Structure 1
Amino acid sequence: MRVLCLHGMGTNSQIFETQTALLKASLNAELNTECEFVYVDGEIESEPRNGVEKYYDGPFLSYYDWDSAESIHTAYQLINELIEEQGPFDGIMGFSQGGSLAASFLLHHSTTYPSQPVELLFRFAIIICSGNPFDARGPTTRRYHPNEDMERIPIPTGHIVGRKDDEYPGQLLLHRLCDSRRATLYDHGGGHEIPRDPLVVKRMSDAICRTIDQASVL
């Protein structure tokens, strides 16, 4: 099983790999297989986020500028190029901006190419501490909202959220923009982070495995 991994804003792929090391180990043990996680850098140099520079070296990168539709479409193109050059992938996983990008990409593909099932690109998505995604089909960007938009992400999704996170309300909105029958939610109770407590890691892994099982990947 292969998973494309997108880091948070103002970090990089190596940082995300370190942040998810315990989670990957737990997933491999629970799934009884060696999953391949493909970590990819954003292309925009950014300021480091949340004091990350105290613990990790740069460069500090992002995938897009929040208020630029053109920038978001460039990030979509990056994902399409990765699928073409390094795919196929079974799933996509993102933290913070990376998760919002993953969700935005999936919704964009569903609405722009309705005759091309999203499942041909990714069969599941794991979204960690990410706010509700962007609609960049017009000249300016806007946030998708489940009360205003009919679109839903059709593939199984696993949502890791934190009730102390400033983005928590947006994380719940993103969850509602997915197929309610196949959207698994786990609240780790913390802030904007990927927890490393062994019990919490196990519960995150359980939620992700339920998502993978719904996608019938293994």
Structure 2
Amino acid sequence: MRFLCLHGMGVSSEIFKMQTAALRNELAGDHSYEFVQGHIECTMAPELEHISDVTKPHFAYHNNSPQSAIDALKDLDAYLTSESAFDGILAFSQGAGLALMYSRYFMNLRPGRPLPFRCLLLFSPVGLLDPVTWIETGKLRLLVDTASPLNIPIAVITGKHDLPQAISQTEDIHRMVQSDMGCWKYVHLGGHDIPNGKAKNDMRGTVRALRRAIAQADMMKRS
């Protein structure tokens, strides 16, 4: 599978490659990964503060304002339209929230057309506001309260000590997925981060959830 990879706020594509290196190695399989960096420079993500050799600068896809998020969705749409098809999106934090918002945005923009990817592998998604409600009414509503069910499988990974926003919104993401597609969740023992090779049980649980979503996507393709 070919995955589009979206990093979190205050990170970069290079850092996200390091954050996911052990995970991608463990996931194995015939997969390729394309990392796309945000263009808004911002302060470093708190989860990186303990790492002394983190490269700079750090980026975001949007600045957490609704209009900035809409602009990011338009940029992502243009990128997906211009590039060859991706099989899935692997994303963390703001990038994971952006992937979910884009799914809603695409379904409203092009009703009846299939999404330009077949599964979502999401880590600690945050910022889940409904872009369609904002565009149409100027009001802010949570995505989980408004979105039509997605017809692709999703895996959602969060930490036991994750951000409250990530924990609370993730609990409702299963309502955004058609029941026959599947939404696989795993809660690791860490915080707002991605399991690495040091936490072997967490890595196994994470990879199991991701593989289930990938297998479901492969079954859809063959049917």
TM-score (norm 2): 0.86
In structure 2, the partner of 1:43 is: 39
In structure 2, the partner of 1:107 is: 104
Determine the C-alpha separation between the residues in 1 that align with 2:73 and 2:88.
16
1:189 aligns with 2:189: yes
In structure 2, the partner of 1:3 is: 3
Structure 2 runs not aligned, ≥5 long: none
Distance of aligned partners of 1:143 and 1:59 in 2 relative to their CA distance in 1, 3 Å threshold: farther
In structure 2, the partner of 1:87 is: 84
Distance of aligned partners of 1:105 and 1:179 in 2 relative to their CA distance in 1, 3 Å threshold: same
Deviation at 1:135, TM superposition (A): 1.4
In structure 1, the partner of 2:167 is: 168
SS in 2 for 1:134: coil
Pairing 1:1-218 to 2, within 5 Å after superposition: 1-28=1-28, 31=29, 33=30, 35-50=31-46, 52=48, 54-69=52-67, 71-118=68-115, 121-131=116-126, 133-137=128-132, 138=134, 140=138, 142-146=140-144, 148-149=145-146, 151-166=148-163, 167-181=166-180, 182-196=182-196, 197-216=199-218
Deviation at 1:174, TM superposition (A): 2.8
SS in 2 for 1:142: coil
Determine the C-alpha separation between the residues in 1 that align with 2:47 and 2:168.
23
The one-letter code matched in structure 1 to 2:120 is: A
User: Are the equivalent residues in 2 in contact too, given 1:131–1:173 (CA < 8 A)?
Assistant: no
Distance of aligned partners of 1:21 and 1:150 in 2 relative to their CA distance in 1, 3 Å threshold: closer
Deviation at 1:76, TM superposition (A): 1.5
TM-score (norm 1): 0.88
Deviation at 1:104, TM superposition (A): 0.3
The one-letter code matched in structure 1 to 2:167 is: Y
Q: Structure 1, residues 62-81: CA drift from partner, whole Å, max 9, x if none?
A: 00121232x22221222223
Deviation at 1:199, TM superposition (A): 2.6
The one-letter code matched in structure 1 to 2:66 is: S
Deviation at 1:51, TM superposition (A): 5.3
Deviation at 1:132, TM superposition (A): 5.8
SS in 1 for 2:172: helix
User: Are the equivalent residues in 2 in contact too, given 1:132–1:143 (CA < 8 A)?
Assistant: no
Q: How many residues align?
A: 210
Structure 1 segments of 4 or more deviating over 6 A?
Answer: none
Q: Structure 1, residues 160-186: CA drift from partner, whole Å, max 9, x if none?
A: 112221221122123432234411111
Determine the C-alpha separation between the residues in 2 that align with 1:42 and 1:150.
25
